[in-house]
Structure 1
């Protein structure tokens, strides 16, 4: 899979494909309107996509505010999971955060999502706390994870 994909800045024309991946990946997906807002109006938001043969197969959203960055969402199309694309996206997001002078990067992950937690730990994230009843679809807790970027 290496060298067969490109990571680039997300564009408006990517929203339909990103939304499809969002719906296939999450029980409470973001809306297309939310994605448009992130690209058009949120000055803190940075979104990247992974493209393979002119198809968006993954994406990651970041908010960078002063020296803190947060991953808002990250997902890979189900047909492309297990190929280290999520790891590549995550590493790219970490580098982008560093370039924007962020010192820390955080994210929330479902306490039951051990596969994602394992990936985050692999690239240096550590558990930092619990957000009780964080997820609106089933009130599952979120594990907050952090990585220092400096």
Structure 2
């Protein structure tokens, strides 16, 4: 699945909806989240926002906390995603303005592909990742996507369990997928169903 997204990204395609006044809106500009705040079972109040180029440092900080100081998506890649990739969407979760997690995705040709999900260790197993994935699913349905997909390390059994609980099905195994250590990846996907009775706010 990811090859399609890579081919699209390198092709220079920038299909964007155009309003009657000629203004073009990126996916991140036309997306509205369903909630301005949500409360965890432990009482923590979290604030989700649609990510922008101003959030690059926050995304780097979350990655460092999750990946032993490493940043699989570096500053240059994130700046490109948030400023130039018109079909990319990032949702950032904050507590008292401090980032605790984020999800990134590309929505292309009827498929929403999750590129990264990260939650800092102190907020893991609290439902943050589940909330982000469900919110992305809601947005993807609204945008007319048919499939939600991702890749996950074969060794990351905990994440695979979560994705299955959220309705993802196992796909093919991609050999030597991760460039850092050549670990295999499991492709997972979920068919999206439009709820005709749902209402969505538009910009």
Using the size of structure 1 for normalisation, the TM-score is 0.94
Which residue number corresponds to residue 39 of structure 1? 82
Is the CA contact (8 Å cut-off) linking 1:110 and 1:142 kept in structure 2? yes
Which residue number corresponds to residue 4 of structure 1? 45
Q: What RMSD in Å do the two structures reach over aligned CA positions?
A: 1.4
Aligned equivalents of 1:54, 1:22: Cα separation in 2: 17
Q: After the TM superposition, which of the residue ranges 103-112 and 82-91 deviates more from structure 2?
A: 82-91
Cα distance, 1:23 vs structure 2 = 2.4
1:114 is the counterpart of 2:153: no
Which residue number corresponds to residue 126 of structure 2? 83
Q: Deviations over 1:86-140 (max 9, x none)?
A: 1111111111111111010100000000110011011100101111100011110
Structure 1 gap segments, 5+ residues each: none
Which residue of 65, 71, 75 maps to 1:24? 65
Cα distance, 1:15 vs structure 2 = 1.2
Aligned equivalents of 1:101, 1:63: Cα separation in 2: 13
1:129 is the counterpart of 2:161: no
Find the structure with the greater CA-based Rg: 2
Using the size of structure 2 for normalisation, the TM-score is 0.71
Paired positions, count = 150
Is the CA contact (8 Å cut-off) linking 2:60 and 2:71 kept in structure 1? no
1:13 is the counterpart of 2:32: no
Q: Deviations over 1:32-78 (max 9, x none)?
A: 11000001111121111111111111100010002111000010011
Aligned equivalents of 1:40, 1:149: Cα separation in 2: 27
Greater RCO structure (CA 8 Å; 6+ sep): 1
1:100 is the counterpart of 2:143: yes
Aligned equivalents of 2:71, 2:45: Cα separation in 1: 31
Cα distance, 1:8 vs structure 2 = 1.6
Q: After the TM superposition, which of the residue ranges 132-141 and 11-20 deviates more from structure 2?
A: 11-20
Is the CA contact (8 Å cut-off) linking 1:71 and 1:107 kept in structure 2? yes
The secondary structure found in structure 1 opposite 2:182 is coil
Is the CA contact (8 Å cut-off) linking 1:14 and 1:56 kept in structure 2? no
Structure 2 gap segments, 5+ residues each: 1-38, 194-203
Choose between structure 1 and 2: higher strand proportion.
1
